[in-house]
Amino acid sequence: MNSNLGNTVEREHKSMALLSVIVPCYNEEENIIPFYEELTKHIGFLEERQIGLEVLYVDDGSRDGTVAKVKELRQRDGRIRLVSFSRNFGKEAAMYAGLSHSRGDYVVLMDVDLQDPPSLLPEMFSYIGQGYDSVATRRVSRKGEPPIRSFFARRFYGLMKRISKTEIMDGARDYRLMTRQMVDAILSMQEYNRFTKGIFGWVGFETKWLEYENIERARGETKWNFWKLFLYSLDGIAAFSTAPLMLASVAGVIFCILAFLMIVFIIVRKLLFGDPVSGWPSLVCIILMTSGVQFFCTGILGQYLAKTYMEVKKRPIYLIKEEI
């Protein structure tokens, strides 16, 4: 099924509004039911507001019993839905698929590992009632996270503030409640190389930020190691800033100026002192340094060219194996 269907999914017209809870999953068999049980403890306010509920699990090509657990859960509660990919396409694709297939007037993205506390939902809805288009969350601490990961995460957000015009909040989570208008705006951005945290900021809309202490995973292990997070950060930089290209251009100009100055220096030295054969160690160092900068700049250009190549091929963002 093509991912572009998301813009044309027809929502059921009901007398009451509907909340869609989108839950991306990848090998999360042991978290499926605990998440559902925790969620149902905190949705009593929906009845008071006459808001219906659907819980959409998006299986990102899991190899364990995730799909079976969701199907088991659906036997107990008809509000459960499932979209299962043909293979692992990544969390960004899973979130996009969830937004595409959601039917709700309000949509919330949540992680199944319970790092996004369902207890915040009533407060989040209260701000939507005050006129906000989105209620987002951010962690004010990184308790339980490896120090090196926390250090580089803060450096990444600090760098993005300097090189990008898009607001990306430090410690921001994907846990966010949105109105249908904002969801449709996000779905209109059909780029293949997705960085949702940046897309949230790019589309704008009135957003209220809620802060909470970091919560560790309830069960299982995270699928995000340091290397994957590093590559994800590069995707974010390439998607929402052209500063690296500017850096490559500036480096080229600087080395052209240095080369010109060195030519002048060599000519002057030749005229004044002759041309003794010396200085080959420094020459080798200069060549190596210059070559390193050239390869670095070529790598930057290659990253943007690769992203452009993936975009112009127009491949679907995801493929669905099963939907119930």
pLDDT 10s digits, 17-57: 888 999 998 888 888 888 888 888 888 888 878 888 899 99
- Using alpha carbons, list the distances in angstroms from residue 61 to 8, 93, 134, 212, 276: 24, 11, 29, 31, 67
| Residue 310: pLDDT band with limits 50, 70, 90 | confident
Does residue 7 register a pLDDT over 70? no
How high is the pLDDT of residue 8?
Answer: 36
pLDDT 10s digits, 136-162: 888 876 666 667 777 777 777 777 777
For residue 224, give both structure tokens: 């995000």
Q: How many Å apart are CA 193 and CA 310, to the nearest integer?
A: 8
Total residue length of the chain: 324
Amino acid at 85: F
- Residue partners of 208: CB distance under 8 A and separation at least 6: 127, 130, 132, 134, 135, 136
Does residue 3 register a pLDDT over 60? no
How high is the pLDDT of residue 220?
Answer: 57
How high is the pLDDT of residue 235?
Answer: 74
How high is the pLDDT of residue 56?
Answer: 92
Does residue 16 register a pLDDT over 80? no
pLDDT 10s digits, 157-179: 777 777 767 777 777 788 889 98
- Residue partners of 27: CB distance under 8 A and separation at least 6: 62, 63, 64, 66, 220, 223
Does residue 228 register a pLDDT over 80? no
| Residue 91: pLDDT band with limits 50, 70, 90 | confident
pTM comes to 0.71
For residue 236, give both structure tokens: 């974010």
Q: What share of the chain is helix, strand, coil (3-state, %, to 5)?
A: 50, 15, 30
Q: What is the mean pLDDT of residues 181-193?
A: 86
Q: Closest Cα partner for 55 from 41, 31, 39, 75?
A: 39
How high is the pLDDT of residue 169?
Answer: 74
> Each residue of 110-138: b (16+ CB within 10 Å) or e?
bbbbbbbebebbeebbebbeeebbbbbbe
Please, are residues 106 and 177 in contact by the beta-carbon 8 Å criterion? yes
pLDDT 10s digits, 257-301: 777 777 777 677 767 766 555 666 666 667 767 777 777 777 777
